[in-house]
């Protein structure tokens, strides 16, 4: 493995608790080099899972946060000016294809269409990436795999992946962890007791029932960890929940009341 | 043949099973240097066919995945800065015209209009490509041929080829292969038995009947191969179908139930 | 005549059959250096006629395929970077004005407005082209003439030439040739017998009656030549017509049936 | 006067026939350096009048054909790259302000707003032009004057000059010349007899009555001169009128019949 | 004071007649370095007032005519290429902040939002301007003040300053001067007698009553001065009013009649 | 601490009066390095609070005024041309991540989506910032914290933070200070007596009741300070209130009357 590749290795085992059989499934998909899509709500652990799998498979991981102003060049690379003229600079996708990394395109639906089309030849039998501007055809390293994430919750029909893109991926569904597992995660990551973590998870469960009834999304595991971290720093639990859970998620007075009531029920 | 041209030759015979008389037809079209358009749904083998024909005709193949942010310069070429000033860099279309390659513009409808207009003088009796920015008129190599693909399934009337473009091409229609042929392909490409492949094809056939009744497209041959590959890696068939067939194609609960039912019918 | 100019001369007489008195008319217009507009449907021979007249008048011909992403700079020229700084590169319009060429802007309606306004001072008594970016006023060569083409069939009122542009041109109307002439052209260009060519023209005539009743345009002479070429390569006429005439022009099943019926009527 | 200025002098007296008292009015406006706006339909002689006045006042004339893709930099100037770094290149407006030319912005309504706002400080008591990108404040030469043209006929309310722009200009209205004067102009410019010129003017008068009843604009004096020029080259008058008057101005069959009828009435 | 600063000083006292107590108010605002907004119709003297105050306060004045294509970089500055690489070039706002000038952003509502947001840190207690592209934080010179103008008459709700911008400014309302003062100004600036000036002001008063009844704005003081200037050059008053007052302001025949009637009433 | 970092330190204690328990809360959030969001109306002291906390925590503060034309590169950095080629220039976000500053993105909702997505990996367990264009992965300094502000008052549903962004932040709500505290602040900052300051606060309280009934926002503390400053410079209170409070906030005559009445009630 080259130096460049090892710079993207995950050195320390990321904290990850398996929810279902997703580890074995991903290993099979990686063995077949099947491009994968991980679906689920924000903050439920999709990015953490991919990090964990990269560590487990001992593969470098190159992540890209997609956005609607990103161009194909941001992924593929571009020419930069040098004292001897222009020099090609590989983008993260090209780099991943060359060194055999797992390339993780986070929230790929946000990207413009050219970004999503550019991955097509990497996701079928060709496993190639044409660098049209450079006149080079990159053949992907045998260890290269492409992974994309997307949140089906807030895709409008205007902004969705094309069928010709979707059909190039296997898919894993993610959701918030089961109660006991989520308590264990919140306690481990924030340092609070499992008792406090349990109360936080109970609040989250109430909020998730409000999804679609005034809330776009329920409280994520990540937010519970934030609330726990404030409690660990000595902030009163009700204040910590207000700062980390209620105020960020909504400005609607009725929703705030409903969430505040959930907080005071448990603390 | 130059070194540059031979770099784009297909060295190994691509796996391709003839569906109808498309090979003879394409050979006649190539002999007349008639520009060709291949139509059909995603994942039915259009790209594979062109690869196969390039191998069979011993012509270099230059493919471009079109997208709506692609400019005419991405096809034709541009000036790059060098230590001695600017240097012209041929784009893939210009390169193909010079070396006598088959130039394959995949999903050409996605491209902006300037991309589609730029091919006009290459597709009539002139067979020329004016490089306006460079002040050069490229006369296409006698072996050059232009091929475009497009998927009539999801073209809206807003995004369609202009008549003045369409009338420059002969057209071949593609569709999913006949059952027996598709079973043979899925078995060959994924390594599963023809029995398993047959079940996968049966699931696909059901999904294709749902096209227009909640699904934008049916399951493609490529997806069946992906499902087969997971089964070959030891994943249980029902799980493999869920990951490779059902979850990627739709997030609609009813559609998922219908597809899951099809899976459990056969496995 | 300079070397540059002679590079754009048409060396071989293009095959062209006069339809009406357009040759004498064009010669008079050229003698008066009247800017000309050629109107007509796609594939009816407009480009070929201009090529023929350039050959006949022994004038260099510089053609530009217009498109909506073309900028005024693409026509007029731009500065390029050189080892000694920037260097001006004439665009095709400027080059034509300098060397006394016929400049042919194909499908000018497709261009953005700046492209059409930029030609104004070349089309009135001034016959000049200001290169604002360079600070030069080019006086057109006495032999220079501007010709534009446009297809009135599919101009919406949104995308039309401005009156202040239209009024700067004389106009010639083109249409598909008369039956006998079209048969002669198809036979000559594709190599088929006049009997086969006659059948192809009959099919085209039927299709042209469908224009506006489901077809945007009828079959063009160019398409008939393509069908003839496939027949000459040994393809069965019905298959050749399907590939070269029916499938490219429409994906509508009813229209395809109507056109297939026309094909089987004559073959 | 500098060499640069004299390069923009009109050397030969342009052919111009006064319609009203516009020459004396313009001279007074120029004496007061009042910015002027000339209004009128296309092809009625606005540009010719400004050319004539520049010749008469012995002032250099710098004309710019405005368009909606023109930027403020196209008028004001920009930095160009040189072997010693960047070098400022004056745009036509800056050049005119420096050398004391008449700057004529043709069809200024077509320009983007930044182009029209950039002229504000040149059109009030300040008579300055700030070159923000260069950090220079140009004080206009005492002989500098700004003139704009516009065609009130086809301005929509969406595309009009702002009041804060309009109120900076005096205005002269132009229209087609009176019959006798127009006959004299057409005869002089095209070389036809006053008898033929009279018939052409009669056709134009009929067309101008159709304005707003199917025609966007009537036939302009310039078009009559074009028709005359074709007649002078030996084309039959009815054909010449068809090519130079009827076909360019409309594709509507009824309008063409009406105009053809007018032609055959007089020829 | 640096050389650069003194280049922007107003050397000669601008002609300005106080309307109300705006001079003392502005002096107090400047003493508190309160950012100011001057509101009022076009041509009523806003720019002249700021010029006068800059002269009175002996402060350099840097004016910028805002427009919707202006970017934040046009105000703040940008890197230019030099023979030794890139060199930073201050924009007018940065320059004003450095040298302690009054920076006057004329018609700021026309600018894009980034232009208006960029001024925020200069208009609160911070009085800083971050040059993000250069990595520098400019602390405004103690004498620096920001002034913006805007015309409330034609702001649509779509194009208005944000509250977070408005609340950073004190505001002065301007309008056309009282009759006697306006007569004095018109006579002084154009050279006509107070009798003639009085007639011009009477015409203006009538036009201002038509505002909102067919006219977007009434005649401005500036237009009256233009009319006076033409009369001084020997043009008959009725013609001068037609050229300088009526024709520029409207193309509507009824409005023109109404204004012409006002002119003939007084001349 | 590096020189670069110390250049962004707040040297003098900013004047700040605690409203609630926000100081302790922020300290706990900073101790946990929790990304924070401060919400509240314009001019209520959000920016001042962050400045105060940066001073208190002895951390450098890097502020960015967000706007809709800002690109991800404006935050992250870009390549600049140097005499030896291109050189990377860190943007403010990257700089803050490297030196361990508090990075304050003011009015982040105004920014384009790519700006908000670019902060994602800095706001979860990764605390990294990928510089895709440079091929570098920046690990945030342990002292780095991200703070964003936003004004929930005028967010339309079209322009709001995405849930996946919101859920990455704890939130503090701000509002105008309580009456006594606001009087103290206005008196301290403007120099007026507490009696005058009390009257100004009374006017503000009335205006805040008009919010949503004709006013988009009530008068901010900042505006009261401006009015006080004018009074301190000798302007009559009624005039000072008109200039600093009434005229900037609205052009609606009825609203102006209502606010003027409030002013005359107290002065």
Q: What is the pLDDT of residue A83?
A: 62
Could you report the per-residue pLDDT of E112-138, keeping only the tens digit for each? 766 778 888 899 888 999 887 777 889
Mean pLDDT of D57-75: 85
> DSSP letter at F242?
I
Whole-structure pTM value: 0.78
Per-residue pLDDT at D23 exceeds 70:
yes
Q: Are A123 and B106 in contact (CB under 8 A)?
A: no
Could you report the per-residue pLDDT of B149-196, keeping only the tens digit for each? 988 765 444 467 777 888 899 999 999 999 999 999 999 999 999 999
Per-residue pLDDT at B135 exceeds 80:
no
User: How many CB atoms sit inside 10 A of residue C1's CB?
Assistant: 13
More confident residue, C4 or E61: E61
Model confidence at F157, pLDDT cuts 50, 70, 90, reads: very low
Mean pLDDT of F193-199: 97
Encoded tokens for C170:
């004389």
Best mutation target, D61, D243, D253, to test chain C (most C CBs within 10 A): D243
Best mutation target, D170, D173, D174, D212, to test chain E (most E CBs within 10 A): D170
Per-residue pLDDT at C177 exceeds 60:
yes
- Here the ipTM equals 0.83
Mean pLDDT of D89-109: 92
d(CA F197, CA F190) in angstroms, rounded, equals 9
Encoded tokens for B108:
């050409």
Mean pLDDT by 10 residues, chain E (267 residues): 80 90 94 93 89 96 82 83 74 95 89 78 88 84 94 60 86 93 95 97 94 86 95 94 92 90 94
d(CA D122, CA D100) in angstroms, rounded, equals 12
Best mutation target, B55, B63, B69, B95, to test chain A (most A CBs within 10 A): B69
Q: Are C74 and B118 in contact (CB under 8 A)?
A: no
Q: What is the pLDDT of residue E163?
A: 80
Instruction: For residue B86, list chain C residues with Cβ-Cβ distance below 8 A.
Output: 80-82
Instruction: For residue E218, list chain D residues with Cβ-Cβ distance below 8 A.
Output: none
Encoded tokens for E179:
């009759």
Mean pLDDT of F110-138: 83
Strand order in the sheet with D145-150: D61-65, D102-106, D145-150, D36-39, D170-173
Q: What percent of chain E has pLDDT over 90?
A: 58
**How buried is D21 (Cβ within 10 angstroms: 0-12 exposed, 13-18 middle, 19+ buried)?**
exposed
Q: What is the pLDDT of residue E161?
A: 79
Asked which of A149-163, A213-227, F244-258 is least confident by mean pLDDT, the reply is: A149-163
By Cβ distance, the residue of B68, B154, B248 closest to A37 is B248
Q: Check CB contact under 8 Å for C217 and B163.
A: yes
Q: Are B210 and B218 in contact (CB under 8 A)?
A: yes
More confident residue, F163 or A127: A127
Model confidence at A115, pLDDT cuts 50, 70, 90, reads: confident
d(CA F101, CA C107) in angstroms, rounded, equals 57
Contacts (Cβ under 8 Å, ≥6 apart) of A208:
A176, A218, A219
User: How many CB atoms sit inside 10 A of residue E202's CB?
Assistant: 17
Q: What is the pLDDT of residue A239?
A: 94
Q: Are F222 and F183 in contact (CB under 8 A)?
A: no
Contacts (Cβ under 8 Å, ≥6 apart) of C58:
C9
Distance of CA B50 to CAs A114, A136, B40, B41, B103, Å?
Answer: 23, 20, 13, 15, 10
Q: Are C69 and B76 in contact (CB under 8 A)?
A: no
Instruction: For residue E222, list chain D residues with Cβ-Cβ distance below 8 A.
Output: 124, 167-168
A216 Cα to chain F: minimum distance (Å): 7
Model confidence at A164, pLDDT cuts 50, 70, 90, reads: confident
Could you report the per-residue pLDDT of C25-52, keeping only the tens digit for each? 999 999 999 999 999 888 888 999 999 9
Distance of CA E140 to CAs E37, E127, E135, E143, Å?
Answer: 19, 6, 16, 8
| Mean confidence (pLDDT) of chain F | 88
How many Å separate Cα B32 from the centre of its chain? 22
Q: Are C169 and D248 in contact (CB under 8 A)?
A: yes
How many Å separate Cα C78 from the centre of its chain? 26
Helix axes A22-31, A46-57, angle to 10 degrees: 60
Q: What is the pLDDT of residue B157?
A: 45
Per-residue pLDDT at D159 exceeds 70:
no
Task: Report the helix count and the strand count for chain D, using DSSP H and E.
Answer: 13, 9
Strand C61-65 and strand B77-82: pairing? unpaired
Instruction: Determine the 3-state secondary structure of C119 from DSSP.
Output: coil
Q: Which residue on chain B is closest to C231 by alpha carbon? A: B28
Using CA atoms in the order B23, B28, B31, B35, what is the torsion angle rounded to 10 degrees?
Answer: -90
Q: Are B224 and B201 in contact (CB under 8 A)?
A: yes
B172 Cα to chain C: minimum distance (Å): 6
Q: What percent of chain A has pLDDT over 70?
A: 94
Instruction: Determine the 3-state secondary structure of B93 from DSSP.
Output: helix
Q: What is the pLDDT of residue F94?
A: 96
Q: What are the sequence ranges of the domains in chain E?
A: 4-171, 177-264
Which is nearest to A226 in space by CA: A204, A211, A259? A204
Q: Which residue on chain C is closest to D78 by alpha carbon? A: C133
Per-residue pLDDT at A207 exceeds 80:
yes
By Cβ distance, the residue of E29, E117, E124 closest to F222 is E124
Encoded tokens for B6:
């031979």
Q: What percent of chain C has pLDDT over 70?
A: 94
What CATH number labels A4-171? 3.40.50.300
Model confidence at C157, pLDDT cuts 50, 70, 90, reads: very low
Contacts (Cβ under 8 Å, ≥6 apart) of D21:
E239
Asked which of C69-73, D53-57, E225-229, E246-250 is least confident by mean pLDDT, the reply is: C69-73
Which is nearest to E162 in space by CA: F207, F209, A247, F156? F156
Could you report the per-residue pLDDT of A235-255, keeping only the tens digit for each? 999 999 999 999 998 888 899
Per-residue burial over E219-256, b if 16 or more Cβ lie within 10 Å, else e, is bbbbbbbbbbbbbbbebebebbbbbbbbbbbbbeeebb
Q: Check CB contact under 8 Å for C124 and D42.
A: no
Phi, psi (5° rounding) for residue C13? -60, 120
- CB contacts < 8 A, E to F, total 124
Best mutation target, E22, E23, E117, to test chain F (most F CBs within 10 A): E117
Q: What is the pLDDT of residue C184?
A: 95
> DSSP letter at C122?
G
Q: What is the pLDDT of residue A157?
A: 45
Q: What percent of chain F has pLDDT over 90?
A: 58
Q: Check CB contact under 8 Å for C80 and B84.
A: no
Phi, psi (5° rounding) for residue F3? -60, -45
How many Å separate Cα E42 from the centre of its chain? 8
Q: What percent of chain F has pLDDT over 70?
A: 94
Mean pLDDT of A220-245: 94
Q: Check CB contact under 8 Å for F114 and A69.
A: yes
Helix axes A221-232, A179-190, angle to 10 degrees: 40
Q: Check CB contact under 8 Å for C130 and D90.
A: no
More confident residue, E129 or B69: E129
Q: Which residue on chain F is closest to A95 by alpha carbon? A: F135
Instruction: For residue B244, list chain A residues with Cβ-Cβ distance below 8 A.
Output: 34, 170-171
Cα-Cα end-to-end distance for chain C: 52
Model confidence at F1, pLDDT cuts 50, 70, 90, reads: low
Model confidence at F134, pLDDT cuts 50, 70, 90, reads: confident
d(CA C44, CA C54) in angstroms, rounded, equals 18
Model confidence at B94, pLDDT cuts 50, 70, 90, reads: very high
R_g of chain F, CA atoms, integer Å: 21
Q: Are B77 and B88 in contact (CB under 8 A)?
A: yes
- CB contacts < 8 A, A to F, total 124
Model confidence at A82, pLDDT cuts 50, 70, 90, reads: low
Encoded tokens for B183:
């079973």
Q: What is the pLDDT of residue D139?
A: 92
User: How many CB atoms sit inside 10 A of residue A267's CB?
Assistant: 17
For residue F72, give the H/E element and its range.
helix F72-76
Q: Check CB contact under 8 Å for D167 and E90.
A: no
Q: For F227, how many CA atoms within 13 A lie in the half-sphere containing its CB?
A: 34
Mean pLDDT of C108-119: 77
Mean pLDDT of C2-7: 78
d(CA A172, CA A59) in angstroms, rounded, equals 20
Q: Check CB contact under 8 Å for E137 and F244.
A: no
Contacts (Cβ under 8 Å, ≥6 apart) of F253:
none
Q: Check CB contact under 8 Å for D243 and C171.
A: yes
Per-residue pLDDT at D40 exceeds 60:
yes
Instruction: For residue B167, list chain C residues with Cβ-Cβ distance below 8 A.
Output: 42-43, 217, 219-220, 222-223, 248-249
Instruction: Determine the 3-state secondary structure of B36 from DSSP.
Output: strand
Q: Which residue on chain A is closest to F120 by alpha carbon? A: A65
d(CA F241, CA F227) in angstroms, rounded, equals 6
Q: What is the pLDDT of residue D208?
A: 93
């Amino acid at each position: 493995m080259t130096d460049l590749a090892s710079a993207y290795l995950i050195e320390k085992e990321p904290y990850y608790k398996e929810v279902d059989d997703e580890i074995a499934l991903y290993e099979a998909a990686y063995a077949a080099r099947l491009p994968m899509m991980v679906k689920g709500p924000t903050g439920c652990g999709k990015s953490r899972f991919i990090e964990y799998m990269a560590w487990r498979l001992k593969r470098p991981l190159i992540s890209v946060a997609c956005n609607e102003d990103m161009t194909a060049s941001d992924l593929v690379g571009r020419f930069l000016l040098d004292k001897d003229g222009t020099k090609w600079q590989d983008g993260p996708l090209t780099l991943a294809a060359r060194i055999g990394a797992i390339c993780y395109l986070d929230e790929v639906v946000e990207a413009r269409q050219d970004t999503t089309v550019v991955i097509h030849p990497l996701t079928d039998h060709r496993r190639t990436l044409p660098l049209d501007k450079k006149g080079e055809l990159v053949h992907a390293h045998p260890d290269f795999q492409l992974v994309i994430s997307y949140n089906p919750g807030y895709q409008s029909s205007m902004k969705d992946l094309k069928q010709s893109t979707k059909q190039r991926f296997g898919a894993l569904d993610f959701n918030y962890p089961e109660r006991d597992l989520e308590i264990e995660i919140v306690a481990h990551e924030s340092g609070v007791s499992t008792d406090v973590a349990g109360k936080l998870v109970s609040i989250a469960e109430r909020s998730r029932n409000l999804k679609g009834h005034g809330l776009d999304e329920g409280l994520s595991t990540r937010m519970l960890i934030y609330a726990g971290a404030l409690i660990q720093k000595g902030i009163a639990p009700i204040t910590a929940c207000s700062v980390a859970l209620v105020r960020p998620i909504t400005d609607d007075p009725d929703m705030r009341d409903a969430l505040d009531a959930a907080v005071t029920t448990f603390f």
